Amino acid sequence: MNIEEFYSADERRRQSAEIELGTNWYDASGNRYELSWVEDTGELYAMLEMVPEAGSYTPFGDVEVENLSVDEVIVTIIGYIATRDEMEIVLAGWEAEMAKPDGITWVADRLHEHDVPGTAPTSAG
């Protein structure tokens, strides 16, 4: 989805505070990502900016992106972390990791190590 579709899908996203966790994450293919966390929804999302010669899969799973225009930015929710404190624990040290080649894989590894769910948790009624 694009950024407008992302915000339109849940109005809480527009009203919420967001924590930016770096704008220059790269994967092994040279794709650039921006990483942010939405306080009111607990969503950790990545905005992906494709480069033409890059592959079609991200470190967060088999997300086919090869048919999209280079000018498009794709928003993907990559995890749900309930609180800012938890988010800071899961992503502690991100500033140093972002500068590394294929640093975005570090994010995927951290989410996996901390058992961060990739889908929204359901609340018991």
pLDDT in tens, the chain (125 residues): 888 889 899 999 999 999 999 999 999 988 889 999 999 999 999 998 765 554 555 566 544 444 545 346 789 999 999 999 999 999 999 999 998 999 999 999 999 999 999 988 876 44
Domain assignment of residue 121, yes or no: no
Q: Is 69 helix (H, G, I), strand (E, B) or coil?
A: coil
Instruction: Give this prediction's pTM.
Output: 0.80
Structure tokens that stand for 75 in this block: 């928003």
What's the pLDDT at 50? 60
125 domain-assigned:
no
Q: What is the CA radius of gyration of the chain?
A: 14
Is 118 part of any domain?
no
The answer to the question of residue 123 being in a domain is no
What is the count of structural domains for the chain?
1
Write out the residue range of the structural domain in which residue 23 sits: 3-113
Residue 39 amino acid letter: E
Please report the pLDDT score of residue 4 as a whole number: 83
Domain-located, residue 120: no
122 within domain boundaries: no
Number of other CB atoms surrounding residue 14 within 10 Å: 12
